[in-house]
Amino acid sequence: MAGLFVTLEGGDGAGKTTQSARLSAWLTDAGRTVVETREPGGTDLGVELRNIVLHRRGDISPRAEALLYAADRAHHIAEKVRPALARGEVVIQDRYLDSSVAYQGAGRVLDPGEVRGISLWAAEGLLPDVSILLDLPPEVGRERLGERTQYDRLEAAGDDFHARVRQAFLDIAEREPDRFLVVDATLPADEIARLIRARVESVLGTA
């Protein structure tokens, strides 16, 4: 069987972890081998880089932040994602290059095209077969996260930052409708899972 690369994108608190687990369970029950992973932090090196970009005290310049994410991506794709796809497995990943374009591009006010270019170079051009955007108003995400916002540099950014990030995600999805499924993340979790399964099932049927 051909491998399949599925990414989940969206703001913090949108439910990516929950939906990743549900999709993984459904695919496993259907007989597929599934690899669940995330960026940053999907490898041992990635865990170290994740601690730097999300939990380091003090400022990190926007360009340095973008390059740290790209470094994590390069190693993660080479060491974990591409080998799994070559084995015919399904990779379900929490965040990928679209998050870099949204967070470091729009959020940190860098050039989104340059951020995307760096990410594609790091990943040797690999794009997902399906990208699920769980769209959620930032204020709802904050309510869901509660006190967690004090521990994550990106989660703790201001309202304007998260508004730019959300719009950037929507703009990316609009430009690439064949790759993206946009789901209202305020829907019940069961309904969201059903919509995601339907999209993934349609792609698997043509793989």
- CATH number of the domain residue 84 falls in: 3.40.50.300
The answer to whether the CB of 43 falls within 8 A of the CB of 76 is yes
Total domains present in the chain: 1
Q: What is the pLDDT of residues 18-42, one digit of tens each?
A: 999 999 999 999 999 999 999 999 9
pLDDT at 141: 85
Domain that holds residue 168: 4-204
Q: What is the pLDDT of residues 101-126, one digit of tens each?
A: 999 998 888 999 999 999 999 999 99
The answer, yes or no, to whether residue 149 has pLDDT greater than 50, is no
Give the Cα separation of 146 and 141 in Å (integer).
Answer: 9
Q: What is the pLDDT of residues 126-148, one digit of tens each?
A: 999 999 999 999 889 888 877 55
pLDDT at 94: 97
The dihedral over CA atoms of 50, 52, 57, 61, expressed in degrees to the nearest 10, equals: -110
The dihedral over CA atoms of 206, 193, 9, 76, expressed in degrees to the nearest 10, equals: -70
pLDDT at 101: 96
Give the Cα separation of 101 and 105 in Å (integer).
Answer: 5
